[in-house]
Amino acid sequence: MGDGYYSVGEFSLDPKWLIDPKLLFVGPKIGEGAHAKVYEGKYKNQNVAIKVHKGETPEEIAKRDARFAREVAMLSRVQHKNLVKFIGACKEPVMVIVTELLLGGTLRKYLLDLRPRCLDTRVAMGFALDIARAMECLHSHGIIHRDLKPENLLLTADRKTVKLADFGLAREESLTEMMTAETGTYRWMAPELYSTVTLRHGEKKHYNHKVDAYSFAIVLWELILNKLPFEGMSNLQAAYAAAFKNVRPSADDLPGDLPSIVTSCWEEDPNARPNFTQIIQMLLHYLSTISPPEPVIPARIFTSENAILPPESPGTSSLMAKRDDAGETPKTAMDGKPRGLFFCFDQCC
């Protein structure tokens, strides 16, 4: 693609983004997906997240190399306050991508911990605007994310800001004719990403940036109602229902103008879906219609037995260090001395 980023055989990286592995120290694993493991670590005394791409068979290695090159290219090209901050990468001795460490965990974990309660509507709208602005930035650079879902949205330690992560499936829009439908997670994927043929044979299908608007609608629906979309269905059942029966989650319980916003974003016809600049305007308009919070009664009128804990009480602060591991409770320290990159990967990869 001109700058060499998309060539599997040759990978080029601007020297300013090149990580020195000798200065990279790796701590506990904080997450794992289908294609990579993520560790907490330090680089030049900065706390970072270290993503290690997986691949063993020749086919997996080829896909890994392409995914790594693609993600580095995207991350190094686009900066925004709602995109995870890229720090650097290296290909040897192993392929790693280093980004800022966000201690708030994933949006998925945050919502699961909150159930059966829901987010305050204003908080949910703030998160939705964070996501929409990140997507607007990507689309302005001609990049389609293709994998927008709560697992790829990370919270800052104060749980006030959401940032979009995981560019492993992102593509330049000019390359859509070469994209396969077997990417992303079906529950959040736009129907045009697959058909009967693509579900069975992995054939290629053309699509555009409006696939991200569909995924955003599903995420927005979750933010407001805090339920799993297409509950009771497997991922493939949800995909079949959405694509071939035009089934969508019920928008009946959404407040105010949100039903029209959500349903416009998950329209069957991609051309009928709004772009993210329009989505942001719709969200801001809805936010302006929500009545301001009730005034808080001054705490001094309460007796000590009824004192209200401040927002930054120890109970709240203790949640901030939680990690997003599936089963194990991660360590809070790095077992004393930090370990070097080579040593760590001998031990834990």
Residues marked as binding for ATP?
51
In this structure, the number of other CB atoms found within 10 A of the CB of residue 313 comes to 10
Could you tell me if 189 and 239 are in contact, meaning their C-beta atoms sit under 8 angstroms apart? yes
Assess whether the previous peptide bond of 28 is cis (omega < 30° from 0): no
- What phi-psi label fits residue 4: left (phi over 0), alpha (psi between -120 and 50 degrees) or beta? left
Reading the block at residue 227, the tokens are 């339920």
Contacts with 91 (C-beta within 8 Å, 6 or more apart), sequence order: 11, 13, 68
Cα–Cα nearest to 102, from 166, 145, 169, 52: 166
DSSP 133: H
Out of 65, 147, 212, 324, the active site residue is: 147
CB neighbour class for 138 (10 Å; exposed up to 12, middle 13-18, buried from 19):
buried
Alpha-carbon dihedral of residues 188, 227, 278, 269, nearest 10 degrees? 40
User: Is 147 one of the annotated active-site residues of the chain?
Assistant: yes
CA 152 to mean position of chain CA atoms = 2
96-100 β-sheet, strand order: 86-90, 96-100, 46-53, 36-43, 24-32, 339-340
Could you tell me if 211 and 192 are in contact, meaning their C-beta atoms sit under 8 angstroms apart? yes
CA 215 to mean position of chain CA atoms = 11
Contacts with 26 (C-beta within 8 Å, 6 or more apart), sequence order: 39, 41, 50, 338, 339, 340, 341, 344, 345, 348
Question: Which residue numbers are catalytic?
Answer: 147
